[in-house]
Amino acid sequence: MKSLQKSCALGLDDDRNLSKNIPNMDIEESVDDFIIERRKSIFLNSANKSMDFNCETNSVAGSVSQRACVYCGARVVLNPITDAYHIVHGPIGCASYTWDIRGSLSSSAEVYRNSFSTDLGEKDVIFGGEKKLTGAIDEIVEKFSPKLIFVYSTCIVGIIGDDVDAVCQKAEEKYNIRVISVKSPGFAGNKSTGYKMGCNAIMELMDKSCGHRDTNSINYLGDFNLAGEAWIIRNYLQKLGIKINSTLTGDSSYESIKKAPSAKLNIVQCAGSMSYLAKRMREAFGIPFIKVSFYGLADIKRSIYDIANFLNDESIMEKAFDFVSNKEKETKQNLEIYKKRLDGKKAAIFVGGGFKAISLIKQFKELGMQTVMVGTQTGKKDEYETIRDISDEGTIILDDANPVELENFMLEKGADILVGGVKERPLAYKLGVAFCDHNHERKHALCGYEGAINFAKEIDLSINSSVWNYIRKERGD
């Protein structure tokens, strides 16, 4: 049984000796703790074997997945639209737990920082919630004169059969404003499904006839303007003579989304949530897209050159070359001090999407660090292939990992730091592992050149904190 578990879990050939590749790793013991259905979602990177890997599936019951639900995915995508009234149609919890918890910033309206819930009760569940929803929209229109309302369907709305589409359509006709139904019952898929539902809602807002294609005007997809990150990138592009037409959805508004079809190109940062939108916009408006990443020097450079290349404008290319070489030189100088302090440290990664994980692996390499474990909540097959290509032999790759797996592999691989979200933080700390917050609640920028420095700074201040001296002593290391 044990040998079977071993090969299932890690996809190893039977004759391979594990301890040769991964010293200090007691795989047998840890594997015994894992849930059988989870084993195909755990992969030990090795050049000599094929990657038979399970991802893009539903979570295993009882596994304590770190993922949220469909509603969560939709909320992530749409929440930063600053002048929209986001009505969560359902019982209180769904709204209460997502009220203004993200670091998305606005340059104008602040409506999105409020939380509107129809607060369905037992009676509504029995008799239906359509009336209440209609009343809720009426009240909002009467008191606030909105231009745009989103109505999120939660689990029970999907069950009790409220015709949310019809309610929204009626309200649109009655008030001549946009009321968009977001189909996000929690059980109807996973977080990725929610991203799609959010993107579908955005598509409904876009105005096909919004005019000619601006030269050198692009849309920036998949940046939620956490701590002003979309503003940082906007400034960069402006310096190159590129105009951002719309950001989706960081610091966006009804009007800015409406005119999105007039851009020449879409660039996509958070591929997990927004590639789908980019594809739909390509189909509907013929706007091509490229994936970019502004995390880490290598990816920033590649992204800026890709954009400049695409726009095929000599002056932009020239400016891009100057901009990147100046900024890179300056940043590298600033990073030098951290590189010295971080050389040879081991990192573990557990983030939402695969594209971010890829950037992080490269970013750690830039700092002279090795990534020993990398997992995501909703990575795609091709992203895991890339992760595999760029990570070292012996790196653990995980999809939709649970706390037990994270615990095991962090300890076994001797990770010095974990990059992750809010729920993973206390686990890392309990294990005596440093932590870097790379989530939607953070209040400091991690993208662009300034972000690269912030990132190194945060890694350094956590990994090299004097606190660990005492923890190590306690452990008897």
Residues in region 27-86 near another protein by CB under 8 A? 33-35, 37, 58-72, 83
Pairing state between β 434-437 and 417-420: parallel
- Give the contact letters, 447-476, x = binds to another protein (CB under 8 A), - = no: ------------------------x--xxx
Please identify, among the stretches 39-47, 163-171, 181-189, 293-301, the one whose residues bind another protein according to the rule CB under 8 A.
181-189
Phi, psi of 168 (to 5 degrees): -65, -45
Q: Which is nearer to another protein, 160 or 317 (CB)?
A: 160
176's tokens: 């001549």
* H or E stretch at 308: helix 297-311
Our finding on whether 317 is near another protein (CB under 8 A) is no
Q: Which is nearer to another protein, 26 or 100 (CB)?
A: 100
Query: Which value, to the nearest 10 degrees, does the dihedral of the CA atoms of residues 131, 137, 138, 142 take?
Result: 160
Q: Which is nearer to another protein, 382 or 441 (CB)?
A: 441
Minimum gap (Å) between residue 180 Cβ and another protein: 17
74's tokens: 């939709």
In the region spanning residues 102 to 141, those forming contacts with another protein, defined by CB under 8 A, are 107-110, 113-122, 124-125, 132-133, 135-136, 138-140
Interior/surface letters 402-435, b for 16+ CB within 10 angstroms, e for the rest: bebbbbbbbbbbebbbbbbbeebeebbeeebbbb
Our finding on whether 423 is near another protein (CB under 8 A) is yes
156's tokens: 């029970």
396's tokens: 């653990």
Minimum gap (Å) between residue 143 Cβ and another protein: 8
Instruction: Choose which of 271, 287, 427, 463 interacts with another protein (CB under 8 A).
Output: 427
Query: Contacts with another protein: how many residues (CB under 8 A)?
Result: 87
Minimum gap (Å) between residue 134 Cβ and another protein: 8
In the region spanning residues 274 to 293, those forming contacts with another protein, defined by CB under 8 A, are none
How far apart CA 276 and CA 266 sit, in angstroms, is 12
Instruction: Choose which of 25, 44, 76, 95 interacts with another protein (CB under 8 A).
Output: 95
Minimum gap (Å) between residue 224 Cβ and another protein: 17
Please identify, among the stretches 158-166, 244-252, 260-268, 346-354, the one whose residues bind another protein according to the rule CB under 8 A.
158-166
How far apart CA 193 and CA 55 sit, in angstroms, is 14
Contact between 291 and 356 (Cβ < 8 Å):
no
How far apart CA 73 and CA 336 sit, in angstroms, is 38
In the region spanning residues 353 to 412, those forming contacts with another protein, defined by CB under 8 A, are 402-404, 407, 411
Contact between 436 and 418 (Cβ < 8 Å):
yes
Instruction: Choose which of 186, 296, 354, 379 interacts with another protein (CB under 8 A).
Output: 186
Our finding on whether 8 is near another protein (CB under 8 A) is no
Our finding on whether 188 is near another protein (CB under 8 A) is yes
Contact between 397 and 387 (Cβ < 8 Å):
yes
The residue to which tokens 């990816």 are assigned = 299
